Amino acid sequence: MAPWRYAIKCAATNADEVPATMTRVTGELPQDLFERVYQELRRIARGQRHAAGSPVTLDTTALVHEVYLKLHDAPDAKSIGRAHFLSLAARAMRQILVDHARARGRIKRGGDAIVTGLNDRVAGADDVVDLVALDAALTRLAALDERAGQLVEWRIFGGLEIAEIAQLQELTERTVFRDWRRARAFLVRELGLADTQA
Amino acid sequence: MDTKRWQRICEVFDAVVDAPQDERAEVLKCLCAGDAELRREVEALLAADIRANTFEHYADSARGGMAADWADAADESADESADEFAYKRVGPWRLLREIGRGGMGVVYLAERADGAFEQNAALKLVKRGMDSDAVLARFLRERQILARLQHPHIAHLIDGGFVADGRPYFAMEYVEGKPLLVHCAALHANLRERLELFLDVCAAVQFAHGQLIVHRDIKPSNILVTAAGDAKLLDFGIAKLLDDSQGGTIDAQQRPMTPAFAAPEQLRGEPVTTATDIYALGAVLYELLSGARALASANATTPEAALRMLEAGVLAPPSRAAGMDAPLPPRLLRGDLDTIVLKALQRDPQRRYATAEALAGDLRRFLAGQPIAARRDRAGYRLRKFVGRHRLGVAASTLAVLALIAALSFAVWQAREKARQATVSDRVTQFLIGLFSGADPEHTRGASVTAQDLLDAGTQRLHADTQVAPDVRARLLQTVATTYTDLGLYDRALPLAQQALALLRRDPAQANADIAASLDQIGNLLRLKADYAQAEPLLRNALAMRRALLPVDDPAIIESLDHVAALDSAKGDFKGADAALAQALAAAQRHYGEGATETARYIDDYASNLDDMGKRTEALKIYRQALAIREKNLGPDDAEVATSLLNLGSHLDASGDYAAAAPLLERALAIRAKVYGPHHPLTGFAQLALAGVYQDLSRFDDEEKQARSALAIFRASLPPEHPQITDALNLLATTAMSRRNFTDSIPLAQEVLARSRKALGDTHPDTLTAKNNLAYALYHAGRYADAEVLQREVIAQVGADNGQGVDATDCENLANTLMKQGKFAEAISYEQRAVAIQTQREGEVSGNTAVALVGLAVAEELAGTNADAERDFRAALAVGEKLHASHDIDLFQWRLPLADFLVGRERCAEAEPLLDAIVTELKPREPLRDPLALLETQLLQGQCLIAAKHKAQGEVLQNDARVQLRKMPGIEVDLYATTARLLAAHGKN
């Protein structure tokens, strides 16, 4: 075996993937804009629910994008830009869902939601990932690796594509994907989902 | 871990995943040199990486689910948002509104837009961006699956196609209804109503399983009940075709299931079978009856967690899980329903109900107040039927003549292929004509006799004719031997086959392939005669020669493989047989085609062996494949279809699914009666198989009718030593025993034993079974000494045969006989041996150990060592109570012997609470499945009343019990000591 080959690979990895500067899009939405995003998210979500009878899941990616369509012309949102707006909406979505999951955990539901129709194939999988635990693991990740923390928030709660994130973070898609792969593995391990074989 | 450390981990992780697969370990080692902790961290991450796709999928649905929940929880004010799908057209459908959304697609309520007719549907449209090839393929498969599922209790497929942008869609029956549990709660449905809805679901599942479709995700929310009260099973979308040619398990990402309802094998990601659905049905029934989840969903959030729970704990029976707000009173569930539910929820798929119909059957029996099949066997004797196998070619009489003609025609055809053998074909043809010139039915007594007579006469003529050339003679000898073999006349066949071989070897011009065929024939004959040591080298040699000489997948090679497999199987090497049969089947599929009739035979043989290996579910599936092929190629009334039906029916019978077996065997019988006539042995075989099922269904009159008819056919048409005659006699003998007609059963059982001994030898399992059965009859007829002789033989012989040593039941049986003859010391030693065997095999806390303890205590009681007896009666009850805490074990069977003992010692104060408990346990279950226990209890209670100076009252109770007990001949030997005495005491009064 020739160990230097791998040493070279390591060096290349470092040079290629750690950017000198990092774009920061961590700013909070202005409070009133957050309120409006929140209201709008809820309105659209409820609309989908009513239209649908009672689907088991909502397409949150679509939600976040719809909110953008609805609000991007608003004066205080105009200056932000699409990708940035989406990232902030993703954060709002994270807060909303994790808060709701916590509340639901406190209330301690009396049995699973009964789901009607042909659609609840994934209802069982709801239980597989605990959003509160995910949130905590994500916070731990962000403490170690801020960029990866952002990425996960946008991707998991906002449904942003790798390409959109690459644009936001001013990185190549390849780098974002590498970040994503590591972050994913980190979360799977933190959530204890890797213990048993699939 | 700090940021720096994390960065280091990331670097190594990236380098490793970038490296080619086979170099990764090396890269990891090199980069982590001297830092074991770093290496562990990266390894953990790499392990997690493998699961990451699954995680993404789950995270997606967790997010979507929570969002939906949040939206629902948000304050109500109907928002009339524009429905973007309103009036959108998909194929002939107009979308009205979205009614659901899942991982793969969106479901809309749709109506027929082309005005063809008025119809609503649930229309499933694959999500944009999801139409990757894999999803598309799965979707299309789903559509095909659904098209095959037309059942009143399944939401069926109406239509499918593609929308303009290429996405596939399909329209399903729109079910307007409420989920099962909601429906039942709203209606305060009672037990019967709940069970009847559940039976609908069982019927739907059974139907789907018949189509080789497994649902995989049965749960209460997937079952809707319409306003008319019909249950409909939804979402067969994730069903996987059992005969999916891709086979294998789908990968982890595509494991849509609900942990709380998923079977252990499903949670482990192992292949999903029909047994998986049986488990889910059990879980649904559990919740439907008790209001509680078999697996508390709060704790079973992941497959891993659910699996840990399942493997750690013992499931509480539903009657004990039912809480304060349970939908039904727990006492209704106690006993049979507990047993049924827990049987469906067995961790081991083999121990669940074999089919949804078997589960339904037990529920129907429960509703009708009949004894259920899931109950444990009562200890002691078990009457066993011999298990029959049905293969084509195990034929007789007319069929043999047909086979002879076919074989000879084939020989002629073969010969014609080779010009130099023209003379052979001529001679064979002449012989054939000569042989059948006397076959005019008018000159013969019956077809079967004709066949044998013809062969005998033909063989004589052949021996007498010195002009026949050696190669012609060899072929004729082989052909006649084959026909004798088909008739089961192996002793006649063998010398002819050996002569043929000698002739072939003498002629150096003879091709090796002919010698191989001859070796194969002799080896197979020796195998049939159970001379495995001699058969083996011949069969293996023949296979090797054929492989060397013949083209790949040649039918002769397939035949050789099949014979080698039959040998392995006969020797008990089912794994070896499996390998050979898999090869034979693969070769047959290549040579004849997958759906060819010839291939069906090898499918059948393969399935039989799976049966032997205990892979019953798989065997069932494969039997059905063979049946499907035969039905498709040959139509519904063909003889080969009947063979398939017989195999399938016999399998179901052996699985305990008698109700499903009966119609199949009835159909097989009808076909054979039509094809071969009512007096043909093949018709008799079908009758015999059917008789066996009737016996299991306790339809004794039907059983006797079929068995007697079969026996008459066999006696008239088969060689007298034919094994099926023994089977028919055994069936009649055991039925007589079941009817407690021991006097009549004894000569039958004796004949069975004599025949088995002669045909199979003294230590063959069937011979031992025959001995046990005869001993059972003798014991009940009071002929203890005769029974004892047989029982001692069984114990001496059984260990040698099965390699597992003496069975505890055999010891208990002998001990009982010894007790009846006052040989208590020896009885005790045998009972102690039984206890030791059971403890060693199943542990101290097992039902069979407790049974053995009771036996020991009974012997001790009769020997007068009362202290020992009391200790062991109580020990048995203690084991029973431990089991009762977690299993479906009744307590009365342990309470009764102790109570019997106590009453015998005039300790009524101690016995009475036990007796009361027995009554409480058994009374609600009338009509009783164990009337004996309650009658015994009644006798004992009467005794206690008499002891308490309520003489008149006690005697009324006792006399009533006596009248009923006397209706059962030989019953006294099945009673415990005190009750037996009380029953007899009356006789003296």
Residue B712's pLDDT is 92
Contact B699, B739 (CB under 8 A): no
Q: In whole angstroms, give the CA distance from residue A176 to residue A16.
A: 12
Residue B73's pLDDT is 65
- Chain A residues near residue B255 by CB distance under 8 angstroms: 198
Q: How confident is the model at residue B765 (pLDDT cuts 50, 70, 90)?
A: low
Q: What is the rounded radius of gyration, in angstroms, for the C-alpha atoms of chain A?
A: 19
Highest mean pLDDT among B199-203, B217-221, B463-467, B567-571: B199-203
Q: How confident is the model at residue B913 (pLDDT cuts 50, 70, 90)?
A: very high
Residues with Cβ within 8 Å of B67's Cβ and at least 6 positions away in sequence, in order, are A45, A57, A58, A60, A63, A93, A97
Lowest mean pLDDT among B162-176, B251-265, B416-430, B881-895: B416-430
Closest chain A residue to the Cα of B122, Cα to Cα: A118
| Matching residue, tokens 């073999």 | B485
Q: In whole angstroms, give the CA distance from residue B672 to residue B678.
A: 8
Residues with Cβ within 8 Å of A5's Cβ and at least 6 positions away in sequence, in order, are none
Q: In whole angstroms, give the CA distance from residue B233 to residue B284.
A: 12
Q: How confident is the model at residue B422 (pLDDT cuts 50, 70, 90)?
A: very low
User: Which of B9, B15, B10 is CA-nearest to residue B27?
Assistant: B15
Q: Which of A54, A127, A144 sits opposite B1 (nearest CB)?
A: A144
Residue B200's pLDDT is 92
User: Which of B152, B282, B274 is CA-nearest to residue B215?
Assistant: B274
Q: How confident is the model at residue B334 (pLDDT cuts 50, 70, 90)?
A: confident
Contact B978, B949 (CB under 8 A): no
pLDDT at B35 over 50: yes
Residue B351's pLDDT is 76
User: Which of B553, B212, B576, B607 is CA-nearest to residue B389?
Assistant: B607
- Phi, psi for residue A118 in degrees, rounded to 5: -90, 5
Residue of B159, B200, B217, B514 marked active site: B217
- All structural domains of chain B with their residue ranges: 3-53, 393-508, 511-634
* Percent of chain B surpassing pLDDT 90: 22
Highest mean pLDDT among A83-97, A163-177, B251-265, B894-908: B894-908
Topology of the domain comprising B511-634: 1.25.40
Residue B894's pLDDT is 87
Residue A14's pLDDT is 33
* Beta-carbon separation of B31 and A51 below 8 A: no
Lowest mean pLDDT among A55-69, B171-185, B733-747: A55-69
- Chain A residues near residue B109 by CB distance under 8 angstroms: 53
pLDDT at B450 over 80: no
Give the mean pLDDT of chain B: 77
Q: How confident is the model at residue B432 (pLDDT cuts 50, 70, 90)?
A: low
Residue B401's pLDDT is 45
- Tell me the C-alpha to C-alpha distance, in Å, between residue B880 and each of B518, B690, B940: 60, 38, 21
The conformation of residue B334, written as its DSSP 8-state character, comes to T
Alpha carbon of residue B634 to chain centroid: 27
Residue B225's pLDDT is 92
Question: Omega into B927 within 30° of 0, i.e. cis?
Answer: yes
B87 burial (CB, 10 Å; 0-12 / 13-18 / 19+) is exposed
Lowest mean pLDDT among A55-64, B235-244, B671-680, B898-907: B235-244
pLDDT at A164 over 70: yes
Residue A5's pLDDT is 27
Lowest mean pLDDT among A162-176, B77-91, B815-829, B916-930: B77-91
Distance from the Cα of B121 to chain A's closest Cα (Å) equals 11
Residue B445's pLDDT is 36
Average pLDDT over residues B975-986: 86
Convert the pLDDT of each residue in A63-110 to its tens digit.
777 777 777 777 666 667 777 777 778 888 888 888 777 766 654 333
Residue B464's pLDDT is 73
Element (H, E) at A108: none
Contact A77, A33 (CB under 8 A): yes
Catalytic residue list contains B217: yes
B275 burial (CB, 10 Å; 0-12 / 13-18 / 19+) is buried
Complete DSSP assignment for B592-620: H-TT-HHHHHHHHHHHHHHHHTT-HHHHH
Lowest mean pLDDT among A104-108, A141-145, B539-543, B580-584: A104-108
Residue B100's pLDDT is 67
Straight-line distance from the first to the last Cα atom of chain B, in angstroms, rounded to the nearest whole number = 91
pLDDT at B96 over 50: yes
Q: B356 - beta bridge partners?
A: none
Say which amino acid occupies B673: A
pLDDT at B402 over 70: no
- Chain A residues near residue B149 by CB distance under 8 angstroms: none
User: Which of B240, B308, B235, B310 is CA-nearest to residue B273?
Assistant: B240
**Among B3, B40, B49, B66, which would you mutate to test the A interface (most chain A Cβ atoms within 10 Å of its Cβ)?**
B66
Reading the block at residue B831, the tokens are 């009972």
B550 burial (CB, 10 Å; 0-12 / 13-18 / 19+) is middle
Coil/strand/helix, residue B178: strand
Lowest mean pLDDT among A25-39, B568-582, B858-872: A25-39
Q: How confident is the model at residue B136 (pLDDT cuts 50, 70, 90)?
A: low
Distance from the Cα of A179 to chain B's closest Cα (Å) equals 9
pLDDT at B403 over 50: no
The residue among B596 and B137 whose pLDDT is bigger is B596
User: Which of B73, B969, B461 is CA-nearest to residue A106?
Assistant: B73
Q: Which of B155, B219, B259 sits opposite A127 (nearest CB)?
A: B259
Convert the pLDDT of each residue in B878-899 to its tens digit.
988 887 776 556 788 889 999 9
Q: Which of A10, A115, A125 sits opposite B31 (nearest CB)?
A: A10
Complete DSSP assignment for B800-843: HHHSS---HHHHHHHHHHHHHTT-HHHHHHHHHHHHHHHHHHH-
- Tell me the C-alpha to C-alpha distance, in Å, between residue B237 and each of A119, B145, B405, B786: 9, 8, 52, 63
Reading the block at residue B360, the tokens are 């339904």
Q: Which of B13, B217, B251 sits opposite A121 (nearest CB)?
A: B217
Q: B94 - beta bridge partners?
A: B89, B111
pLDDT at B335 over 50: yes
The conformation of residue B487, written as its DSSP 8-state character, comes to T
Residues with Cβ within 8 Å of B308's Cβ and at least 6 positions away in sequence, in order, are none
Q: How confident is the model at residue B581 (pLDDT cuts 50, 70, 90)?
A: very high
Q: In whole angstroms, give the CA distance from residue B872 to residue B859.
A: 10
Helix %, strand %, coil % of chain B (to 5) = 70, 5, 25
Lowest mean pLDDT among B200-209, B311-320, B633-642, B830-839: B311-320
The residue among A30 and B274 whose pLDDT is bigger is B274
List the 96-125 stretch of A: residues with Cβ below 8 A of B. Answer: 96-97, 100-101, 104, 111-125
Residue A183's pLDDT is 93
Distance from the Cα of A16 to chain B's closest Cα (Å) equals 11
Lowest mean pLDDT among A85-94, B518-527, B664-673, B700-709: A85-94
Lowest mean pLDDT among A71-80, B759-768, B913-922: A71-80
* Beta-carbon separation of B252 and A198 below 8 A: yes
Average pLDDT over residues B168-174: 77
Residue B294's pLDDT is 82
* Percent of chain A surpassing pLDDT 90: 4
Distance from the Cα of A135 to chain B's closest Cα (Å) equals 11
- Chain A residues near residue B1 by CB distance under 8 angstroms: 144
Any B CB within 8 A of A137 CB: no
Average pLDDT over residues B125-133: 57
ipTM: 0.76
Q: How confident is the model at residue B231 (pLDDT cuts 50, 70, 90)?
A: very high
Residue B202's pLDDT is 94
Alpha carbon of residue B932 to chain centroid: 30
Contact B661, B354 (CB under 8 A): no
Residues with Cβ within 8 Å of A32's Cβ and at least 6 positions away in sequence, in order, are A76
